[in-house]
Amino acid sequence: MDAILVVNAGSSSVKFQIFAVGDAAELQRLIKGQMDGIGVRPRLQAKADGSSVFNREFAPNEIPDVPAAIGAVADWLRETQNFTLIAVGHRVVHGGPVFDKPVIIDHDVVKRLESYVSLAPLHQPNNLEPIRLLLARRPELMQVACFDTAFHRDHSAVADHFALPERFYSEGIRRYGFHGLSYEYVAMRLQEIAPDIAAGRVIVAHLGSGASLCALHNGRSFESTMGFSALDGLPMGTRSGQIDPGVLLYLIMQRGMEPAAVQDLLYRESGLKGMSGISNDMRELETSAEPTAALAIDYFVYRVGLYTGMLAAALGGLDAFIFTAGIGENSATIRGRIAEKLAWLGAQIDPAANVGGKPLISRAGSRVRLYVVPTDEELAIARHTLSLLTKDATIASTVAM
């Protein structure tokens, strides 16, 4: 059985999925798993058809880093699964100004992607680890990089620029936008769920540990709350979101903070975690009685409402608002509170549908429809990988003839 492996490597986890490739080039999800707690409390978990097929803890010294985690996952797959791996698709957060679509990976591509590490220091190094490992161990295996920035590359010059001298834009300092694989998948699903509004003015809220909003017009990215880096826009689990640049100048010039310390503050110690002083997990904050937890939630909801107004203005109105990702898909309370912020736009939530897990959660008379659409970035990556695999095979066949 031919199969595609999808890898999404983070700082403390490696998520993976296996998709079987059928005779008609259709994809079937076989395995979904992850190795989390790397270096602290490593655990490898895997499911098939929603049921657990493996669950094991490791000692911290057995899985001290991402390469070790990848090795353990590879060993488990090789020992327990019966398939022929024909390609690997990777989520890569930053494609810079060069990569506007998925690309087959070689050493030159890796070198280019390494130059974008400073643009996404929390993600890019970990995204590249499994790529380098596989290039060294399985150089014949096709690898495909799929970029979170690619979906937003059609933005207008007005949306794409900062108010800086043009030479900085030419050097790559521009608004990229992120979570593109998630938005791409949701836009595609919206065509199936609600084709009558898929071509209209839609805002998708990717609300999870990382959070952003994307304005869609005719199914394409029109504007985003994230910009040059994955720090901009909404507050996130540990990231600050939008902040006055003067604060950063003050911290460096007046407080004497080193740039690396400021980077660590903005990426790892801010957001919900920083404001609450408790946790970066919305679930913990919702059950906490601490005033700081309530403040962090209030701030998160307020900023979602604020940025929704901005994107609605960019679109010239709003036809639908879509919740997706961990918080958006699972917290009826947060969805309800955000919907209240959208009442001025004509959004009316149906409380029963919201709590009941329905895909359409707005009332019948709501001018703005509200939906919950689970995202599937891994399937989007698998589809891109299969497309390039098929295209590459066609080219090879033509050359051979």
Residues with catalytic annotation? 148
DSSP H helical ranges for 316-375 = 325-330, 332-341, 351-355
DSSP class of 106: -
Look-up: residue for tokens 């007046």? 254
With CA atoms as reference, report the closest residue to 178 among 137, 126, 234.
234
List of residues 6+ apart from 176 with CB closer than 8 A: 94, 95, 96, 119, 149, 152, 226, 227, 228
* CA neighbours closer than 13 Å in the CB half-sphere of residue 202: 31
Q: And the tokens for 307?
A: 């940025």
Look-up: residue for tokens 């209209």? 200
Which amino acid, 134? L
CA pair distance 359, 370, nearest whole angstrom: 8
DSSP H helical ranges for 316-401 = 325-330, 332-341, 351-355, 377-400
β-pairing, 51-57 vs 43-48, is antiparallel
In whole angstroms, how far apart are CA 125 and each of 67, 158, 369?
12, 31, 39
CA pair distance 343, 349, nearest whole angstrom: 9
Q: What are 92's strand-pairing partners?
A: 147
Q: And the tokens for 60?
A: 């911290």
Which amino acid, 150? A
Q: CA 198 from chain center: how many Å?
A: 21
